[in-house]
Structure 1
Amino acid sequence: MSDNLKRYCAIKKALISLRPTEPKGNQARHINTLAMIVAGVIGSQKCHLPAIAKKVPSDAKPQNRVRKMERFMDNDAIDCKKYYLPYADTLIRNLPPGPLVLIMDGSEVGRDCVMLSLNVVYKKRALPLCWIVVKGKKGHLPQDTHIELLEQAAKIIPQQRRVIFLGDGEFDGTKLLETLQSQGWDYVCRTAKNVVLTEDAQRFSPQDLILERGERLELPDVGFTAKEYGPVLVSIVWEPSWDEPLILVSNLDFLEEAYHFYQRRFRIETFFSDQKSRGFYLGHSHISNTSHLHRLLIGLCLAYLWIVCMGAWVVQTGRVALIHRTDRCDWSLFHLGLNWIEHCLNEGLPLRTRFPRSERRRKCVG
């Protein structure tokens, strides 16, 4: 059995086993094509269809394989609700107990398109739950788009789990914050130094306050923006090495807690870099159709989940030394997963097809 066929069979088995029901008819055919895309993406580490097609086991000519994937991407019946959220739901249910830390951010993908993604933090990675692709350059998207993405994720988040939402300065709109509050979720978002705050009927902004490097200031129970939304907590943190202070708005009670969680926000950058320059080169794609990109991302994100969960399993079961140095681990879960897949194919070992279900302590760069 060829490496391409082994990889494809393992992924197809995983996709079928994690679905709530056995796929049949058109759905089964779509799962087969999706497995082709995921396997081809992992094998080629590219998002271009011709490169993916070369790593797909099939008797058909490469161009015919490309056309099959193009039909998948052009099919309006293919959406995240049917072909991604069931796997994201499985992921959420198998994460360790404790707060779910969600991060929302955007990045340019394809040609003149932006991907707005909502990810859950797992170790030092941010795993994709859902996303929206729109035309345009990277910049602030409307709050309604943020809320639309939030509502997609809310459908698979257990009500009993505590959720902390993190976002940069794009996500400090009061309409979004009100939606998060009504959802029962905590939030910590960056905001501007000139934002209007209200305390005891007096209006001011963070830039009016005298603060020096190394200092922190907590402003509880203030009104936020000219609308006086709140009361909220506004925290100002100025680390000695920074050129300017960090200003956060939150519905948490204390600055230390808000700042502690916000430091995890940057983990979503690892997701975008793994999808682009350090992984699948999504930034080099010339696809400009937002629907086509959205469906291609189903395959890319499933590939990412499988690889990271594979890497986590390698760490949890003490197999790092089989593929990496023994004195320390300086590979991310993403690169551990990729190298373990390569190791299994080289050594004729079976490929694991399940998400991790247990946690064991072992230090590793995630």
Structure 2
Amino acid sequence: MLEANRISLAYLITGILASKAVQLRQVASKVVYPGKETSLVERFRRFLQNENIVVKSEFNPFWELILSALSQSQLVLAIDSTKVGGGCICLMVSVVYKSRALPVCWVVFKGRKGHSSTDIQLALMKTLKSLLPAEQAIILLGDGEFDGSELVTWFEQQTTWRYVCRTANRLLIEHQNDWRPLAEIELAPEEETFLTDILFTQSGQVGPVNILVVWHNKVKEHWFFVTNFTDPDQARNWYRKRFSIETLFSDVKGRGFNLDKTRIWKPERLNRLIFAVAIAYIFTVFLGVDLIVRGPFEKLFRTDRFYHSLFQLGLSHLNHLLKTCLPIPDLGPLPPPDSFEHVVLAC
């Protein structure tokens, strides 16, 4: 990236952190800039329009910083989509870290939530694979948008990957020598089961796979999951971590940077805006970790009743540093999550 673009990105990230917004005028209003505020807004626009900025390669150093802390063990990844901008969807893969999820890679496209095509999903998975060490152990978690036969086939082909994806009860499986919808599996309320060596979808015939059926107490219905885990308890427990990506979306939207309020409607420009938001988010989480590991954690927060997430801690730490004119710490690599297991974090 050219030096001028790097400076523009730094201004953009600074303004996002200070304003907790992504509307360019609001962002510019919080940045100390030698020129006019309108000039800074135009600078931001030129950055977002710049086709020479390749997000994947420019974001890679930040991903490597995260990977260096987590690659010694299996990586827990979640995939999900969320609405951003004018009629656009962001399909994102994130890595689970404590109670948060950190962005890894994403794609932005015109569409409706829950309706990403198989081609888009597979392209993102191939991008993801290119970012990972060859023999890295992976656990991938997805909701019902990611249960297509082609995608599940691709998961099955990755020898070091395990996956759990929720699936629709209308999909057909071969059960007891007959093709039937999952909804027709005879189970009483609150009854659960684990089906092994199943062919999945009559049209695609993926398999053998395993099907986990659990009872959801809140909605009073059975939920179905396709997986290559052989232990149903493991599949269930890992899937619960998928909700970390929903906290990520909440943080960059209503609880943090209000990404959903942007009026930008072109996917390629939104992609570059999300690039800046992703760096701002990672920086904030790193600050939250730094506050616990090295900072004045006990001086700023009660430890008998604790309701803060890493993201909220990071924002508070940043505000404290700015108010007291203290330098921003050199964050360095992300510490392993087990280095502060004594702290119970909020979701």
Shared topology, TM-score over 0.5? yes
The CA deviation at 1:304 is: 0.2
> After TM superposition, which residue ranges in structure 1, 4 or more long, deviate above 6 angstroms?
none
**Aligned in 2, Cα 1:328/1:215: closer, same or farther, shift over 3 Å?**
same
Tell me whether 1:308 sits opposite 2:308 in the alignment: no
Q: Kindly report which structure 2 residues correspond to 1:1-366, keeping only aligned pairs within 5 A, or say none.
A: 27-95=2-70, 97-184=72-159, 185-199=161-175, 201-226=177-202, 227-317=204-294, 319-354=296-331, 355-358=333-336, 359-366=339-346
2:95, 2:102 within 8 Å by CA — same for their partners in 1?
Answer: yes
Q: C-alpha distance in 2, partners of 1:126/1:211? A: 34
2:65, 2:334 within 8 Å by CA — same for their partners in 1?
Answer: no
Stretch of structure 1 that moved more, 332-341 or 139-148? 139-148
User: What residue identity is the alignment partner of 2:198?
Assistant: V
User: What residue identity is the alignment partner of 1:108?
Assistant: K
User: What residue identity is the alignment partner of 1:30?
Assistant: N
User: What residue identity is the alignment partner of 2:121?
Assistant: H
User: What residue identity is the alignment partner of 2:14?
Assistant: A
- TM-score for both structures, normalised by structure 2: 0.94
User: What residue identity is the alignment partner of 1:363?
Assistant: V
The CA deviation at 1:271 is: 0.9
1:172, 1:190 within 8 Å by CA — same for their partners in 2?
Answer: yes
2:149, 2:205 within 8 Å by CA — same for their partners in 1?
Answer: no
The CA deviation at 1:200 is: 5.4
**Helix, strand or coil for the counterpart of 1:138?**
coil
**Helix, strand or coil for the counterpart of 1:278?**
coil
The CA deviation at 1:240 is: 3.8
The CA deviation at 1:174 is: 1.3
- TM-score for both structures, normalised by structure 1: 0.89
2:21, 2:257 within 8 Å by CA — same for their partners in 1?
Answer: yes
Q: C-alpha distance in 2, partners of 1:82/1:209? A: 47
User: What residue identity is the alignment partner of 1:177?
Assistant: V
Match of 1:10 in 2: none
2:291, 2:317 within 8 Å by CA — same for their partners in 1?
Answer: yes
The CA deviation at 1:341 is: 0.5
1:238, 1:246 within 8 Å by CA — same for their partners in 2?
Answer: yes
**Aligned in 2, Cα 1:288/1:133: closer, same or farther, shift over 3 Å?**
same
Q: Matched residues, percent identical? A: 33
String of CA shifts for 1:316-345, please: whole Å, max 9, x gaps: 236322222231321111010000011011
Q: C-alpha distance in 1, partners of 2:285/2:94? A: 13
1:316, 1:361 within 8 Å by CA — same for their partners in 2?
Answer: no
1:115, 1:134 within 8 Å by CA — same for their partners in 2?
Answer: yes
Aligned length: 341
**Helix, strand or coil for the counterpart of 2:319?**
helix
Q: C-alpha distance in 1, partners of 2:296/2:137? A: 32
Q: C-alpha distance in 2, partners of 1:301/1:222? A: 39
TM-align CA RMSD: 1.6
Q: C-alpha distance in 2, partners of 1:240/1:69? A: 48
2:215, 2:222 within 8 Å by CA — same for their partners in 1?
Answer: yes
Q: C-alpha distance in 2, partners of 1:66/1:286? A: 14
String of CA shifts for 1:24-68, please: whole Å, max 9, x gaps: xx5222211111111110011110111111222221100001111
User: What residue identity is the alignment partner of 1:303?
Assistant: A
1:213, 1:242 within 8 Å by CA — same for their partners in 2?
Answer: no
Q: C-alpha distance in 2, partners of 1:124/1:189? A: 20
String of CA shifts for 1:257-284, please: whole Å, max 9, x gaps: 1111111111111111111111111111
Runs of 5+ consecutive residues of structure 2 not aligned to the other structure = none
Match of 1:15 in 2: none
